[in-house]
Amino acid sequence: MRLSRYFLPVLKEAPSDAQIVSHQLMLRAGMIRQEAAGIYAWLPLGLKVLKKVEQIVREEMDRAGAIELLMPTIQLADLWRESGRYEAYGDEMLRITDRNKRDLLYGPTAEEVVTDIFRAHVRSYKELPKNLYNIQWKFRDETRPRFGVMRGREFLMKDAYSFDLDAEGARKAYNRMFVAYLNLFSRMGLKAVPMRADTGPIGGDLSHEFIVLADTGESAVFCHKDLVEMAAPGPDVDWFGDLQPLVNQRTALYAATEEMHDAAAFDAIPEGDRLSARGIEVGHIFSFGTKYSEPMKALVTGPDGKDVPVQMGSYGVGVSRLLGAIIEASHDEGGIIWPESVAPFGVGIINMRQGDAACDEACETAYQALKAAGRDPLYDDTDTRGGAKFATMDLIGVPWQLIVGPKGVAEGVVEIKNRKTGERHSAPLADVIAQLTGPQSGKAA
């Protein structure tokens, strides 16, 4: 992309109502624009990152055997009357009436809709297990929308729903999501710790929140220090085998959100290993048995010929919230530092003297080569001065910057800078292109 043709409305200063750094940087980098309290337009740069985050979530769901579908944002109130949640959900639900005076709502979650789909099409235990997920916009009329995409009213969620014949199957389904979550957050450069959590309006008795530690997080959390550094299991696990040991390895160590905190159990941990911190909830998984399938009559016939309500769980990831969480975890005074896996562009090309034939030519060569190699370059071909170009590239967090100036070009070299480490070195253009397009390029976060 040539910056002269792009739409990147960067701001010098963040609006004063943006209190936390991720919100400030998303506004300054021209990623989002607030349209109403807690409702955002995703500008091109923000949308690019959102799509990358979404794709990682999708790949890890698919790997763990979940199947993607797409449910509507607008749901029938009658389905929620069946489950008994329509009145109980309260003011957070945005209620809508259509021209035929039918009660509709903008879905805050989709247990009812997915249970309705399941009961219409699945009858036998032979079709189980199943896990259906979608990545869809949700609406919750939060009392205090704040911190930008962290607590929005409209937000993008990945929500998966598992269906099993019995409690043992449901536990395995839960474990698959537990392990998939460890992997997907780690692919985005995040250390997310699973913690025992309250189930709130979703219900059930088994639940974990996945928490990214950050001082600006909304939740107070308590855990054993070792959990923070524990590496993710990686993709090569036996997804339909026994994942319990992997889960137990984590759940054996104390980790709980404030609502589930047990001070005595926490105090039993050696003092040096205790971590009392704040965190951002990026995912939340629930196992709730027959809470929805029983009232909504989602029955399956078991091997003994008897009909039983299906065992369910639901598994959420805050896809749009993740952008805020990644920025909270990875930024410096210059701006955002995107991990390569979610960066909006792979390489930024900075032309220090636009209009100088030699600089223009070197930039053009680099731009075409990087484009051809799929490195998605952003070429700053504007006639802005060099300092401002550096500041913009740092602000938007592109992982590599290729700096082309008249002095270097005359000597046959360009400069390459790593956004994360700040390291720079000069090398011939062909070598830099080879480095940025080689087999290992773009792999390291």
Does 204 bind ligand 5CA (CB under 6 A)? Our answer is: no
| Cis bond before residue 129 (omega within 30° of 0) | yes
| Residue 276 φ/ψ, nearest 5 degrees | -115, 115
Does 177 bind ligand 5CA (CB under 6 A)? Our answer is: no
- Beta carbon of residue 365, minimum distance to ligand 5CA (angstroms, whole number): 43
> How many other CB atoms are there within 10 angstroms of residue 104's CB atom?
16
Does 335 bind ligand 5CA (CB under 6 A)? Our answer is: no
Does 202 bind ligand 5CA (CB under 6 A)? Our answer is: yes
Distance of alpha carbon 302 from alpha carbon 297, whole angstroms: 15
Does 314 bind ligand 5CA (CB under 6 A)? Our answer is: yes
Q: Which CB, 314 or 354, lies closer to ligand 5CA?
A: 314
- Beta carbon of residue 111, minimum distance to ligand 5CA (angstroms, whole number): 6
Residue 379 contacts residue 349 (beta carbons within 8 Å): yes
- Beta carbon of residue 108, minimum distance to ligand 5CA (angstroms, whole number): 7
Residue nearest to ligand 5CA (CB): 318
Does 321 bind ligand 5CA (CB under 6 A)? Our answer is: yes
Q: Tell me 103's DSSP state.
A: E
Let me know if 246 is exposed, middle or buried by CB neighbors in 10 A (0-12, 13-18, 19+): middle
Considering only 23, 119, 284, 353, the residue that binds ligand 5CA (CB under 6 A) is 284
Q: How many residues lie near ligand 5CA (CB under 6 A)?
A: 21
Return all residues near 394 (Cβ < 8 A) that are at least 6 apart: 334, 335, 419
Q: Which of residues 105-134 bind ligand 5CA (CB under 6 A)?
A: 109, 111
Considering only 118, 174, 254, 315, the residue that binds ligand 5CA (CB under 6 A) is 315
Does 141 bind ligand 5CA (CB under 6 A)? Our answer is: no
Does 163 bind ligand 5CA (CB under 6 A)? Our answer is: no
**Which segments of 102-218 are extended strands (E)?**
103-106, 130-139, 154-164, 192-196, 206-213
Q: Which CB, 28 or 158, lies closer to ligand 5CA?
A: 158
3-state secondary structure of 107: coil
- Strands 103-106 and 255-257, by their bridges, are unpaired
Does 281 bind ligand 5CA (CB under 6 A)? Our answer is: yes
Q: Which CB, 23 or 419, lies closer to ligand 5CA?
A: 23
Nearest alpha-carbon partner for 377 in 320, 432, 423: 432
